[in-house]
Structure 1
Amino acid sequence: MKVLEKAPAKINLALDVLGKRADGYHEVRMIMTTVDLSDHIEIQETGGDRIRVRSSALYVPEDERNLAYKAADLIKTRFGIKQGVEIWIKKEIPVAAGLAGGSSDAAATIRALNRLWRLGLSYEEMAELAAAIGSDVAFCVRGGTALAIGRGEKIEPLPAPPPCWVILAKPPVSVSTAEIYQALTLDNLAHPDTDGMIAAIERGDYEGICSRLSNVLESVTIQKVEEVEQIKRVMARLGADGVLMSGSGPTVFGLVRHKSKAQRIYNGLRGFCGEVFMVRLLGGALI
């Protein structure tokens, strides 16, 4: 028996860092939403008691460093399951891009194994497992749109934003999330208007959402990857309604209301940047 799951990418509409925690993580307050760019996870049982991960992409670890592997190992340990599984990850989301590809793969693995092994886990139980794997995994279990607080594992669902197109552009470099957070200076941060963003989402105010896009990590990543600023300028010049770097980067996204304009921006960026995608905002929850 094979179980299939989609693992959508996320973007950050707002990302704020409130301080450093005693456990070494940063206290965050961020709004995330899913987009229609997905990895595809296929899981089937195998003989023995081994977890095997395979991926279509280079540079994706296929051992215990992989978050999907960690998810399967945690479930097997927690529930005493002595059954081997093979996890096939067809990658569409760029690696180390600020789009939570690895976290979404882990979340999809949790959902898939819940079905495969008929565990009957609630969302809350799956989210608890997810929080033990990584900060963004709990959000990715349900997807949709949500406020994430704590180190990112405490999730408060929000309504879906108004439908729009999303242009994603990743420069040909990758960044380490840990290094970006480490380089962040907490003094004199220009904090996002997160409450205003929540209100704009709740009233379906597309212009209000675009005007409040903000990410405190953006300036840190720009110092290391100058292409982020260049892509932002090109997107804005081509007419995107709102432009921001997602997560710790280096992917930049632009929100666009109309398909014709989105197509022009996509075409304009393809000659400038290697990995460019034109997708829809999903917004709604997966489960």
Structure 2
Amino acid sequence: MEIKLKTRAKVNFSIDVVGKRDDGYHLVEMIMQTIDLYDLITLGDAPGKGITLTCSSSIVPSDARNIAYKAAALLKDMFGVEKGIKIDIEKRIPVGAGMAGGSCNAAGVLVGLNKLWNLGLTTEELKQLGLKLGADVPFCIEGGTVLAQGIGDKLTTIKDVKDVWIVVCKPNFSVSTAEVYKSLKLDNMGTRPDTERLLGYIEKGDIKALAGGMANVLESVTQSRYSVISHIKDKMMHQRALGSIMTGSGPTVFGIFKNFEDAHKAESRLKQMWEQTYLVKTENRGVEFNEG
């Protein structure tokens, strides 16, 4: 038997850091949104008892360092599954982009193996397991528009931001999320988002106000090191974006656009400078079985 799944990327409409725990974890408040850019994962039975992982990207590890591999190992250990499993990942989401590409792959493996192995886990149980793998994994399972608090583990579903055109642009390098958080100065984070106000804009469906109010405190670290982030944001705004910020810890930048025409023109222009540029829409689902 073989199962195919779409595992979706995310962007952050906002990221704020509101404190730091004694164990070093940062306390965050952020609004996350899935988009219709996704990886394709195929799960199938394999001879023996082991886990085999292949990936279309040569820079993604295909062993126990891969978070999707860890997801399969977690379920095998927890349920004593003796079967072998083959995981194939067709990468479409840029790697090391701050878009939860790895986390959504892990989410897909959890959801897919739950079905393939008839484990009977509920969505909530899968999300609890996902948290053992990474803070973004529970969100990636369900997707949509969500307020994340705590260390990113407390998720509150909010009104969907539907059918909004977004252009995503990743420069040709990656950054370490851990390093960015480590370098963040809590007393000097630059522009912070007004989360309550942004939630109000989403509730009213005021996309222009949402776009104009977006902010990400992690820009204070990544943007200071890589001027190209400011450059891409400026290009987005010049191409009539309603607002533009960095997503996650970067280096990816995205812009929200009023309509398809503006977004398409912006994508065409930015793609001439940065190959990993994508025109996408907001999506209210996370992991989805790919029946086609």
TM-score by structure 2 length? 0.95
**CA shift at 1:248, angstroms?**
0.3
SS at match of 2:94: coil
Residue matched to 1:88: 88
Could you give the per-residue CA deviations for residues 232-257 of structure 1, whole angstroms, max 9, x where no partner exists? 01110111111010000000001112
- Post-superposition offset of 1:145: 1.1
Aligned counterparts of 1:98 and 1:193: Cα–Cα separation in 2: 21
- The residue aligned with 2:221 is 220
| Cα distance change on mapping 1:104 and 1:183 into 2, 3 Å | same
Contact 1:162 1:206 in 2 (8 A): no
Distance 2:151 2:266 in 1: 34
Displacement, 1:285?
5.4
SS at structure 1 position matched to 2:24: coil
SS of equivalent residue, structure 1 residue 132: helix
Unaligned 5+ runs, structure 2: none
Give the counterpart letter for 2:271 in structure 1. R
1:243 equivalent to 2:229? Answer no
User: Which deviates the most, 145-154 or 55-64?
Assistant: 145-154
Identity %: 43
Give the Cα–Cα distance (whole angstroms) in 1 for the partners of residues 65 and 21 of structure 2: 24
Amino acid at match of 1:29: E
Structure 1 unaligned spans of 5+: none
1:194 partner letter? T
Q: Residues of 2 paired with 1:31 and 1:284: CA distance? A: 15
CA shift digits 1:92-113 (9 cap, x unpaired): 0000001000000000111100
Question: Mean Cα displacement is larger for which, 150-159 or 31-40?
Answer: 150-159
- The structural deviation recorded for 1:135 is 1.1
Count of aligned pairs: 287
Q: Does the aligned pair in 1 maintain the 2:141–2:286 contact within 8 Å?
A: no
Q: 1:30 to 1:283 in 2, by over 3 A?
A: same
Q: Which amino acid aligns with 2:119?
A: L
**Aligned counterpart, 1:43:** 43
Letter in 2 for 1:264: K
Q: Are positions 1:170 and 2:183 aligned together? A: no
- C-alpha contact 1:159 1:283 (8 A) present in aligned 2: no
**Whole-angstrom distance in 2 between the partners of 1:233 and 1:79:** 51
Distance in 2 separating the partners of 1:103 and 1:225:
25
What is the aligned partner in structure 2 of residue 6 from structure 1?
6
Q: Tell me which residue corresponds to 1:262.
A: 263
Q: What CA distance in whole angstroms lies between the structure 1 residues aligned with 2:201 and 2:147? A: 13
Identify the residue that residue 128 of structure 1 maps to in structure 2.
Answer: 128
For 1:107, the equivalent position in structure 2 comes to: 107
Match of 1:253 in 2: 254
- Higher mean C-alpha displacement, 199-208 vs 58-67: 199-208
User: Shift of residue 20 of structure 1?
Assistant: 1.6
Deviations 1:72-91 (A, max 9, x none): 01111111111110100000
- CA–CA distance in structure 2, aligned partners of residues 197 and 116 of structure 1: 40
Structure 1 stretches of 4+ with a deviation exceeding 2 A read 188-191, 283-287
State the 1:274 CA deviation.
2.1
Alignment-derived partner of residue 24 in structure 2 = 24
What amino acid is aligned across from residue 145 of structure 2 in structure 1? T
Instruction: Compute the RMSD of aligned alpha carbons.
Output: 1.2
